[in-house]
Structure 1
Amino acid sequence: MSSPKVIRWGILATGVIAVTFTKDLLVDPTTRGVTSIKHTVVAAASSSSVSRAESFLRRVGAPASARAYDSYQDLIADPDVDIIYIATPHSHHYQNAMHCLEAGKNVLCEKPFTVNAEQARLLVNMAKEKGCFLMEALWTRYFPLAAYVREILSSGRLGTLVRVMTDCNIATNPEKSFKDGKHRMVNSELAGGALLDLGVYSLTWPFLALYDTQPRETRKPPKVLAAMTKYPPTFCADETTTMVLTFPRNESAGGDAHAIATTSIRLETSPASDPNPPASVRIQGTLGEIQLFPCAHNPTHSKLVLWDGTVEEKPWPQPGPGKGSGWFNGFGDSINAEGEGQGMFWEADEAGFALCEGRKEGKYLGLEETVLIMEVMDETRRQGELRYPEKIETTKFPVQL
């Protein structure tokens, strides 16, 4: 048996999401049935100090040989880095990713990919020009659960797909949790608001079900009708946003399909005390539906309900080193059970597979679709009259942020 290909990662930024991703990245891939690749971290960069990058590397359990930088440019210039994971706020993704791509580095960029579609298009063009791999790190698309949903949809068990309803919220009191106004969820300088940070998950399932299932050569962008409520203290970020999407289809394919995608900083999909919480995602066809629980961004339970009386429920636990390992991961203050990963290793595996196969984009979320979803969010912001500062929206490069 040949040895697994080692994918050498550089981590650009050292915040909370970078910690979660990198801890998952360094989990032995065989714990999730992957044997052809393995991941290592060769370098990490903090824009503030070398000591912060060093602390990050210790915290995630990186190899002792991993290098710490206080400059993103030094990380990008490191010849031992095969691919860079960008973990900065999304307001900075365009500038950071363009720096990486111009230098010929492969990139896995956190969601949302950019602030607007024009930025996304320019990154795609630069990746093509430089022959680099480029992918949005929308982890949900690479879950085994997502593969199961795709399998059910392609099998025809739901009949003709008609409608998708999704809801993604964080259920917080923003005036209390983000009272200084600097948090990325409400700060216009960081392209804050529910739409870009959470709404991208609400859009994930409608696109997976109603766009990806259509023939590539004939599918068309959805029409968008949006409603938006601004965050009252500043009116510079959206608090609650709802999108009604119409996906055009030929009459022979069932005619137009609909989706309702909602997101909110303040609300929750269901009260925590509800013993029978509703599904955060419902994909409905003429013969039944798939329901996903508890949240649209990280569902861990599915329920297939067919009109003939069939009900199939499946749990989707996260793999990892397992109990007794003394290893823990999670996101922020939410820590998973001992030995249970967060699920970000699957997107890292997809990037690794692509590098080995010579592909330049992800298999289950291509760059064309990433740009299209950004276009939908652009149109939603246009209808809601929400625009961020020019230095955040600009396509000029480089711009110091």
Structure 2
Amino acid sequence: MAPKETRWGILATGGIAETFTKDLLIDPATRNVQNVKHAVVAAASSSSLSRAQEFLKSVGAPASAKPYGSYEELVKDDNIDIIYVATPHSHHYQNVMLCLEAGKNVLCEKAFTVNAAQAKKLVETARQKNLFLMEAVWTRYFPLSIYVREAITSGKLGTVIRVSADNSFGVIPEETFDTGHRMVNPDLAGGILLDTGIYSLTWVFQTLYLTQDPKTRKPPHVLSSMQKYPVTGADELTTILLTFPRDPQEGGDMHATATGGFRTSNDIDGKGTAGPAVRIQGTKGEMQVWAPIFRPTRTRLILKDGTTDDKNWPQPGPGQGSGWYNGFGAKKNAEGEGHGMFWEADEAATALLEGRKEGKYKSLDESVLIMEVMDEVRKQNGLTYPEKIETTERITL
């Protein structure tokens, strides 16, 4: 059976959109995906038509792909099956709602929204309109992540008790970001929590929450601490302690720490010598995952019976000799190596093919729950963003 083609529209033309779209255009057969394939049929920039034209050219989109100089024009294109929203998370709510109101399925970059109220409103709208909606937490769809979760659900680690996950930069923010940069600008919901903390929470939730029976699992209790970046007031160091309730006969409560910071690093020399950035610990052993935890390629399983199993998980792609490169920002991957954003695109396309309205490995309800956790962290530490990006009213940003 021939693969089903999914026609994508790209909303925004920044760095993450370029990385995603270049991955999207890789032949899925290079990663042994046979049921779907992808086509880029349009892209829109909010700044100008020429920027959209430049973007489509830079990613290698076909000449037939249409450029648009506004998001409003993009969502009216009848040839689009699904729109990938790649704006800063401060703008996700307004941009996704625009797509949903136009009847378009959506894959939205993480963090899903700025707060849980916005997330709930998007989910409610998607369900009312019978549209597909998914938060683009790409890491969950990696074969590496599936392997880690299977080690938990199979009982290989015994009863899992504790998880620690850290996603830190190792930069001096005063030297790295100007005050308008999305990483430190409160007007763009900048700071550690929504940008990098979401990855630490991803590892905690996909190991301690997703692996539980949906009928009996419960939201975690949350304690947190935060240090503000004095220049802008965004959070620069955030530590979250989560307690996941579990019946005593199942092993009792599970604990987790999810951390992130600008000035600290979980991969000091870029060679992995700092050790694992994620540790999933059970009664029979532990699973370790090396940084970067948003795009990990290395795991180690260590069991009490003496078993040690090291695995490398390189991302597939066109391969060496192809002359093709992808990456994010100034960092490029090895020649012919994809970035890994195609796994979430394959899942979204497969869901459309199967008639599902949300992702297999992260439900919309779980996306809302994680936003509620981040709301609680902000509440505990007095972190707020401007009303214009916290609101659920329809406005123009």
TM class, shorter-length: over 0.9
Query: In the TM superposition, what is the alpha-carbon distance from 1:172 to its structure 2 partner?
Result: 1.5
Name the structure 2 match of 1:400: 396
1:188-267 aligned within 5 A: 188-235=186-233, 237-267=234-264
Q: Quick one: distance in 2 between partners of 1:333 and 1:250? A: 47
Query: In the TM superposition, what is the alpha-carbon distance from 1:95 to its structure 2 partner?
Result: 0.2
Normalised by the length of structure 2, the TM-score is 0.99
Q: Quick one: distance in 2 between partners of 1:170 and 1:18? A: 21
Name the structure 1 match of 2:9: 10
Q: Deviation per CA, 1:236-292: give whole Å up to 9, x if none.
A: x10000000000000011010000110112211142177732110000001100000
Matching of residue 307 in structure 1 with residue 337 in structure 2: no
Name the structure 1 match of 2:23: 24
Moved more, 83-92 or 213-222: 213-222
Q: Quick one: distance in 2 between partners of 1:28 and 1:210? A: 34
Residue 43 of structure 1 aligns to a residue in which SS? strand
Query: In the TM superposition, what is the alpha-carbon distance from 1:92 to its structure 2 partner?
Result: 0.1
Give the counterpart letter for 2:197 in structure 1.
G
Gaps of 5+ in 1: none
Moved more, 307-316 or 269-278: 269-278
Q: Quick one: distance in 2 between partners of 1:389 and 1:75? A: 28
Check the 8 A contact 1:277/1:294 in 2, yes or no.
no
**RMSD over aligned Cα, in angstroms?**
0.9
Name the structure 2 match of 1:96: 95
Q: Quick one: distance in 2 between partners of 1:276 and 1:339? A: 26
Check the 8 A contact 2:165/2:278 in 1, yes or no.
yes
Q: Quick one: distance in 1 between partners of 2:360 and 2:188? A: 29
1:249-288 aligned within 5 A: 249-272=246-269, 276-288=273-285
1:287-298 aligned within 5 A: 287-298=284-295
Identify if the C-alpha distance between structure 1 residues 273 and 53 changes in structure 2 by more than 3 Å, giving closer, same or farther: closer
Name the structure 1 match of 2:330: 333
Give the counterpart letter for 2:46 in structure 1.
S
Query: In the TM superposition, what is the alpha-carbon distance from 1:83 to its structure 2 partner?
Result: 0.1
Q: Quick one: distance in 1 between partners of 2:246 and 2:266? A: 30
Q: Quick one: distance in 1 between partners of 2:272 and 2:116? A: 41
Check the 8 A contact 2:267/2:292 in 1, yes or no.
no
Identify if the C-alpha distance between structure 1 residues 40 and 254 changes in structure 2 by more than 3 Å, giving closer, same or farther: same
Q: Quick one: distance in 2 between partners of 1:119 and 1:276? A: 40
Query: In the TM superposition, what is the alpha-carbon distance from 1:215 to its structure 2 partner?
Result: 1.2
Give the counterpart letter for 1:342 in structure 2.
H
Give the counterpart letter for 1:277 in structure 2.
A
Name the structure 2 match of 1:52: 51
Q: Quick one: distance in 2 between partners of 1:209 and 1:153? A: 7
Give the counterpart letter for 2:302 in structure 1.
V
Q: Deviation per CA, 1:22-61: give whole Å up to 9, x if none.
A: 0000000000001111101000000011110000000000
Query: In the TM superposition, what is the alpha-carbon distance from 1:98 to its structure 2 partner?
Result: 0.4
Give the counterpart letter for 1:311 in structure 2.
T
Give the counterpart letter for 1:386 in structure 2.
L
Q: Quick one: distance in 2 between partners of 1:273 and 1:251? A: 41
Moved more, 263-272 or 154-163: 263-272
Q: Deviation per CA, 1:152-209: give whole Å up to 9, x if none.
A: 1111011101000000012211111113x00111000000000000001000111111
